[in-house]
Amino acid sequence: MHVHIRYMAALRDRLGEGETTLDLPPDVSDSETLIAHLTASDAAAAALAAPEIRLIRNDRIVTRPSALEDGDRLAFCPPFTGG
Amino acid sequence: MHVHIRYMAALRDRLGEGETTLDLPPDVSDSETLIAHLTASDAAAAALAAPEIRLIRNDRIVTRPSALEDGDRLAFCPPFTGG
Amino acid sequence: MMPKILVTADPLDPPALVAALTGTDPDDGAVASFVGQVRAEPGLQTLELEHYPGVTETALAELRELAMSRWSLSQAIIHHRVGRMAVGETIVVVAASAPHRRAALEAVGFLIDRLKTEAPFWKRVHTAGGSHWVTARDSDAAASQYWRDQIAQEDA
Amino acid sequence: MMPKILVTADPLDPPALVAALTGTDPDDGAVASFVGQVRAEPGLQTLELEHYPGVTETALAELRELAMSRWSLSQAIIHHRVGRMAVGETIVVVAASAPHRRAALEAVGFLIDRLKTEAPFWKRVHTAGGSHWVTARDSDAAASQYWRDQIAQEDA
């Protein structure tokens, strides 16, 4: 399946790219297997596995692990620091 | 000694007078003996003995019992209800 | 210049207090405020606030000083109206600024809770048929006592 | 008409929010507000707020609905600024009105505590030498978790 991924704020700086669209192998089924897949090609992506990293899926803040579907728009988020 | 007494808010209505100056007998020495003295001539003054009645003495809120001196200006106050 | 303590028969201006504390000190990260206003109740035509001039201002100033020192506030303002007022009119405004939010929020809660029971104000409700004094609420006494206990614990 | 939820790059107007809630509903006895503003810190030239458009507004609206129902508020308003701002400028304003003071004060405390950790905003500090992202504070996470626990207890 295909997913569109964005990295927000400090994660964007750390992973060196703002957004990307990926074709995923069949063993990637949820947020956590996606992070493992990303880490295989870029060790910096291991930072996404930290429990404080939040996930927005199709414009909703979701809890991890979150199942994925073809066409999902994902955003990995450092802890929020508003207010 | 002489003291000047005011009754505030609901106490003014209850005791039927706003203020008075009294010449006190020698056995009146503090706020509580004053209340007993007042009650002897007006049974309604017994209401002043209730612990929730506050006393202002010479423009300071004081704790009861409070000693009295000649020339004191006293105000008996129902519980405050501001704000 | 906004007075820090004001007891007045004139209408109060809550937005002006917030404006006076906002964006004024570079070390402030937080401004909190509370407005108490006359609530409609059956029969109420006007609410009257009686007070004890002079003693009231001193009592409010002492509460303000206590809050300033306990929470390290930058500023704190207390304005209280007296006399007669209609439904919707402002009775009291409290505002505080501080470096951090918890200080500003707690100080405002403290000031409104304490001034209800520690400053010589008395409310009277005027209706078509006459008037009656508002009696003190147990919940107000409990809220005030909460802060007294908190402070006693810290001083112990 | 004052929007209930606003996320904007334009300057905010805290006194206007207080004015919008004051004297508007005869059943309201209380209006509380909180203003968060840019605090001076060594080297800070501007503070930048990034957010996730769409998701931010939804997150704020959900927090607002939660507060409205939990505290039986009359009104609640949340305005948050994004983009770059200077020291002293307003980052966020929260205001709530209610029949009684405890509801208004607690709801404002809840909203500011929760929005810090539950809405997708990120702060970045710009200095003469570059910029750095603000890291989440443990105390903010603890304050947010406090309310989560409170609500879980009530639902249990």
ipTM for this model? 0.94
User: Are residues A42 and A56 in contact, defined by beta-carbon separation less than 8 angstroms?
Assistant: no
**Which residues from C are below 8 Å from D37, CB to CB?**
22-23, 28-31
Q: How near does any CA of chain C get to the CA of D23, in Å?
A: 4
* pLDDT tens string B25-72: 999 999 999 999 999 999 999 999 999 999 999 999 999 999 999 999
- The pTM for the full model equals 0.95
pLDDT at site A79: 97
All domains of chain D, ordered by start, with CATH? 5-148 (3.90.1170.40)
Query: For chains C and D, what is the number of CB pairs under 8 angstroms?
Result: 113
Judged by phi (left if over 0) then psi (alpha if -120 to 50, else beta), residue B16 lies in left
> C151 pLDDT band (50/70/90 cuts)?
confident
3-state secondary structure of A81: coil
Q: Which of C54, C116, C135 sits opposite B82 (nearest CB)?
A: C116
**AA letter at C87:** V
Residue of A8, A56, A81 lying closest to D136 (CB–CB): A81
The beta-carbon neighbor of B59 closest among C54, C124, C135 is C54
Phi, psi of C104 (to 5 degrees): -65, -45
Residues of B with Cβ-Cβ distance to C141 under 8 angstroms: 79
Tell me what pLDDT residue D132 has. Answer: 97
- Mean per-residue pLDDT for C74-82? 98
Could you tell me the strand order of the sheet in which B2-7 lies? B19-23, B2-7, B73-77, B54-57, B60-62
What pLDDT is attached to residue C54? 96
Whether residues C23 and D108 touch (CB distance < 8 A) is answered with no
Candidates C7, C8, C52, C115, partner chain B, best to mutate (most B CBs within 10 A): C52
Confidence band of D114 (pLDDT split at 50, 70, 90): very high
Backbone angles phi, psi at B11, to 5 degrees: -70, -30
The CATH number of B2-77 is: 3.10.20.30
Cβ neighbours of residue D23 closer than 8 Å, sequence gap 6 or more: C37, C88, C89, C90
Which pLDDT score, from 0 to 100, does residue A16 have? 82
For residue D156, pLDDT over 80 is answered with no
Low-confidence ranges of chain A (pLDDT < 70): none
What would the mean pLDDT of C131-143 be, rounded to a whole number? 94
Give the pLDDT confidence score for residue D133 in this predicted structure: 97
Q: Round the average pLDDT of chain D to a whole number and report it.
A: 96
Q: What's the mean pLDDT in D41-50? A: 97
Q: Which residues in chain C touch residue B78, judged by CB atoms under 8 angstroms apart? A: 122, 133, 136
**Mean predicted confidence (pLDDT) in D26-40:** 98
pLDDT number for residue A60 = 97
CA distance readout (Å), C146 to C55, D54, D129: 23, 42, 48
DSSP codes, A12-69: HHHHT-SEEEEEPPTT--BHHHHHHHHHHH-GGGGGGGSTT-EEEETTEEEPSS-B--
Mean pLDDT of C131-150: 93
Q: Where along chain A do its domains lie? A: 2-77
Residue B46 phi/psi, 5-degree rounding, is: -55, -25
